[in-house]
């Protein structure tokens, strides 16, 4: 029994925070897990920026509302949903990602939550659990699933290493070099082919 676990941003959708940075003119929000592997450090940095610039959740929703799946992502998710089980494991937040799931055919999403006040100010974030991607993969394997995982950055590494098979998707040169034992897919068609070989 196969199960595929994919990261969301950078694999199926553009990076939400980069879109917010471009829309709001706050370039510091472009920083992602590709540059900062410590998720808590990154999120504290982002929360401070939101507070300093009075950027609310509605403004973030407006900034990402027009995002569309990456070219080939829709076709990949539809193929996966038709041929196996698909779980999206993301370090994003439900408040950001829920509206986007319809654009991908409503795959199952495991992610985190934001703490937002009545005025839409983002006060904090709540992890679903520490290292949730790895722990989800380990749980699926314990349920006797053969898990194939794909991700693009450092916060995906524990998930990739916990899976039965792993594929790097469009990694940076450094990330690929640091994990040279893992195959790399540069397009969604290559990723589909890489996954299909394990069926």
Q: Is the pTM of this model over 0.75?
A: yes
- Express the helix, strand and coil content of the chain in percent, nearest 5 each: 45, 20, 30
- Class of residue 171 by CB neighbours under 10 A (exposed 0-12, middle 13-18, buried 19+): buried
Can 7 be counted among the known catalytic residues? yes
166 close to 160: Cβ distance less than 8 angstroms: yes
Is residue 95 pLDDT above 90, yes or no? no
pLDDT in tens, 133-191: 999 999 999 999 999 999 998 889 999 999 999 999 999 999 999 999 999 999 999 99
Q: Among residues 7, 15, 152, 156, which one is catalytic?
A: 7
Can 62 be counted among the known catalytic residues? no
Confidence band of 99 (pLDDT split at 50, 70, 90)? confident
Determine the pLDDT at residue 86. 98
């Amino acid at each position: 029994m196969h199960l595929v676990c994919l990261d969301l941003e950078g694999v199926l959708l553009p990076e939400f925070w980069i879109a917010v940075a471009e829309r709001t003119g706050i370039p510091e929000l472009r920083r992602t897990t590709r540059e900062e592997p410590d998720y808590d450090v990154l999120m504290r940095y982002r929360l401070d920026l939101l507070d300093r610039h009075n950027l609310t959740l509605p403004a973030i929703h407006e900034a990402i509302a027009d995002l569309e799946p990456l070219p080939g992502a829709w076709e990949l998710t539809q193929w996966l949903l038709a041929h196996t089980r698909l779980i999206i494991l993301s370090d994003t937040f439900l408040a950001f990602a829920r509206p986007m799931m319809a654009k991908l055919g409503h795959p199952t999403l495991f992610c985190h939550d934001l703490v937002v006040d009545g005025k839409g100010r983002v006060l904090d974030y709540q992890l679903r659990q520490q290292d949730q991607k790895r722990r989800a993969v380990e749980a699926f394997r314990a349920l006797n699933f053969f898990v194939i995982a794909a991700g693009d950055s450092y916060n995906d590494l524990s998930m990739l290493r916990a899976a039965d098979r792993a594929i790097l998707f469009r990694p940076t040169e450094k990330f690929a070099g640091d994990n040279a034992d893992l195959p790399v897919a540069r397009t969604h068609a290559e990723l589909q082919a890489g996954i299909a070989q394990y069926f």
